[in-house]
Amino acid sequence: KYTADPGAMVHDGKVYIYAGHDECPPPKEHYQLNEWCVFSSPDMKTWTEHPVPLKAKDFSWAKGEAWASQVIERDGKFYWYVTVEHGTIHGKSIGVAVSDSPVGPFKDAIGKPLHDGSWDYIDPTVFIDDDGRAYLYWGNPNIYYAELNDDMISLKGEVGKLEQTVESFGAPNPEKRVKDVKYKDTYTEGPWLHKREGKYYLLYAAGGVPEHIAYSMSDGPLGPWKYMGEIMPLQDTGSFTNHCGVIDYKGNSYFFYHTGKLPGGGGFGRSAAVEQFKNNADGTF
């Protein structure tokens, strides 16, 4: 089974991985993701797959395409932010599903998109800060952000678009990039927002395709961001995309990503992978 875009979550002593089910249909030239999967582990070694907790078509307004997603817990409920293809509005949309259990079943929380209207509305990452305020980031190749209301199923205020600069993300905004100029880096997609010891980290797939993983740091959840370099340089993963996430679990830190390395896999048959890591003493990767 191929598992793309792993989004990991720690809850009640267990690690959960939520991933799109890459069906990798011959001739292996396009994505086919109809549903997401969930796996749990009590030790990062043994994994249990649970029944399919959510399908793209569980969102009645969606046409399909179970693209990248992330789950978070708040007040005993589990909120799953997903990318799907809208049924009538051209492009991708962000939906939110809810469950009382980390393994589901999940159901559409609002019966409509949380945000819709553009091809680049993909790959939501969600984060709850220590003060209880919750944030979403998403986008390819723009980086959008919004604060969530406490209900976790509606947006507070306007959606913002981050100004990308060489200093913040390695290159200017996509529309300002000059052809043939070699920038330090270029944000592409798949953001992952988290906090460690007072510092905020935005990790993301970068460099266009094939993608590597890079990151920016900040002193606040909404920036200003500072480009910090690559975490996972380009290498032979067998997949032209990559999609990362980070968790701390039982005293260790783990970096999730995907490759095309399972037999028969590739760019449309990706598999979740993980490395244990330690941050440097100054908090950098």
260 touching ligand FUB, by CB under 6 A: no
7 touching ligand FUB, by CB under 6 A: no
5 touching ligand FUB, by CB under 6 A: yes
Q: Residue from 67, 192, 200, 285 that binds ligand FUB (CB under 6 A)?
A: 67
Query: How far is it, in rounded angstroms, from Cα 1 to Cα 48?
Result: 13
- CB-nearer residue toward ligand FUB: 4 or 15: 4
279 in Cβ contact with 253 (< 8 Å): yes
Q: Residue from 2, 31, 135, 187 that binds ligand FUB (CB under 6 A)?
A: 31
Closest CA to 83 of 144, 39, 125, 53: 125
Amino acid at 113: P
Q: Residue from 9, 37, 38, 68 that binds ligand FUB (CB under 6 A)?
A: 68
Query: How far is it, in rounded angstroms, from Cα 177 to Cα 200?
Result: 26
DSSP per-residue codes, 123-167: --EEEE-TTS-EEEEE-SSS-EEEEEPTTSSSEEEEEEE----HH
Which residues in 171-210 contact ligand FUB (CB under 6 A)? 189-190
Which residues in 97-136 contact ligand FUB (CB under 6 A)? 122-123
Query: How far is it, in rounded angstroms, from Cα 79 to Cα 86?
Result: 20
Which class for 18: exposed (0-12), middle (13-18), buried (19 or more C-beta within 10 A)?
Answer: buried
The distance of closest approach from Cβ of residue 268 to ligand FUB in the complex, given in angstroms and rounded to an integer, is: 9
4 touching ligand FUB, by CB under 6 A: yes
The distance of closest approach from Cβ of residue 113 to ligand FUB in the complex, given in angstroms and rounded to an integer, is: 16
- CB-nearer residue toward ligand FUB: 169 or 252: 169
212 touching ligand FUB, by CB under 6 A: no
Query: How far is it, in rounded angstroms, from Cα 214 to Cα 4?
Result: 19
The distance of closest approach from Cβ of residue 205 to ligand FUB in the complex, given in angstroms and rounded to an integer, is: 6
20 touching ligand FUB, by CB under 6 A: yes
The distance of closest approach from Cβ of residue 152 to ligand FUB in the complex, given in angstroms and rounded to an integer, is: 21
272 contacts: CB under 8 Å, gap ≥ 6: 3, 4, 6, 17, 19, 256, 257, 258
Query: How far is it, in rounded angstroms, from Cα 205 to Cα 40?
Result: 25
- CB-nearer residue toward ligand FUB: 20 or 53: 20
Name beta bridge partners: 19. 37
DSSP class of residue 50 equals P
* Total binding residues toward ligand FUB, as defined by CB under 6 A: 13
The distance of closest approach from Cβ of residue 187 to ligand FUB in the complex, given in angstroms and rounded to an integer, is: 12
Q: Residue from 241, 255, 260, 267 that binds ligand FUB (CB under 6 A)?
A: 241
The distance of closest approach from Cβ of residue 190 to ligand FUB in the complex, given in angstroms and rounded to an integer, is: 4
Binding residues for ligand FUB, rule: CB under 6 A, are 4-5, 20, 31, 67-68, 83, 122-123, 189-190, 241, 243
